[in-house]
Amino acid sequence: MNPDIVETVNVAREVAWLPWAVQYFFLIGLSYGAYLVSLPGLVFRRPGWEGISRLALLAALVCGLTAPVALLADLHQPGRFWHFYAYFTPSSWMSWGAFFIPVYLTGLILYAWLAFRPALARHADEGGRLAGLARRLAYGGHESRNALVAAALLAFVGAALVALYTGVEVMLVRARPLWHTPLLPLQFFVTALAGGFGLTLLFNRYLSGRGDPLATRRMANALAVTQLVALLVGGVWLALGLSGLSPTHAQALAEVAPSANWQLSAVWAVAATVVTLVLAWKRPGSGLAIGLLALHSAWMMRWTIFIGGQEVPKTGAGYYSYQLPFGPEGLMGIVGTAGLWIFLFVVLTTLLPLDRIGKSGATGA
């Protein structure tokens, strides 16, 4: 009797979550992370945080307005976004997200408008660029403390809901053990907050060409804490995988451990986090370096989880290979989103110059 010959065929599959998804999760994370950084100075009025908080709010606004465009593009047929509202599915976190995002953006825009009204009025009175538009947007330029706090509270509720749904909708994918962990939403949040600090640090660094040293030190200290928490979360995941206490974590570790690409990514991620932590702790004045490193880590974490995670087959052997395409679903899409971000940044900073809103002694909301 001839022995049976079994041939295993591994079918390569295209990724379902495209780079558009990475861009959306990156930008919306930066937005609510930077929004949280804005609260100490604008809502709680902590001394020394006024300028930082206004810069953080500007960062939150630019990223928050850009993120939904990437999300619409990720739907493959953006014109069908209204289906989320016409055919609501209570069991789908993505369906809930269609309602959470407007709550957050409405609160954020109102909060930013109320916070920046006095600055817009001063810009118009001094005859700055687009002074007429600034005067109309200022609508008198009066401070409205109670209204600002109410808008900030609405934005906080929306930010919490967005942070929850963006983490949980990925965590619930049981077919991918790498994603199916309660640690994932926590790591998303921690790296988003770190990215918010990082972007605010960059804005602060280029304020009048040098930035506020005390503000840089405050943010560096807070950023160091986020990096420590990120390392702890990663260490817990690794411990659960190595110990076998959690079968899901053990399976996830077994799937990625043999891959040289995943090994390199793990070493790179840990090294970047440690370097950011050490610089933020030992050299808090290096705002440019730690800001860029924090943004790099926030992007890398999401790219590795989404794109790298889909290179691990749900069934079969080996790994899929993803090549970033040049077209709108790849490189050009990333460039286009970056172009939109830059356009919004230029428009907003024309009305609200960084050297005006970033001064700690300026009167804000």
The predicted pLDDT at position 3 comes to 55
The predicted pLDDT at position 114 comes to 94
The predicted pLDDT at position 121 comes to 86
The predicted pLDDT at position 207 comes to 66
Q: Which amino acid is at 77?
A: Q
pLDDT in tens, the chain (365 residues): 455 555 455 555 667 788 999 999 999 999 999 999 999 999 999 988 888 999 999 999 999 999 999 999 888 776 777 888 888 889 899 999 999 999 999 999 999 999 999 888 888 887 778 788 888 888 877 788 999 999 999 999 999 999 999 999 999 998 899 999 999 999 999 999 999 999 999 998 876 455 667 878 889 999 999 999 999 999 999 999 999 899 999 999 999 999 888 999 999 999 999 999 999 999 988 888 999 999 999 999 999 999 998 888 776 666 778 888 899 889 999 999 999 999 999 999 988 887 777 665 444 44
CATH of domain 19-358: 1.20.1630.10
The predicted pLDDT at position 129 comes to 82
Please report, for the chain, the start and end positions of each structural domain, with discontinuous segments joined by +: 19-358
Distance CA 21, CA 281 (A): 33
The predicted pLDDT at position 363 comes to 44
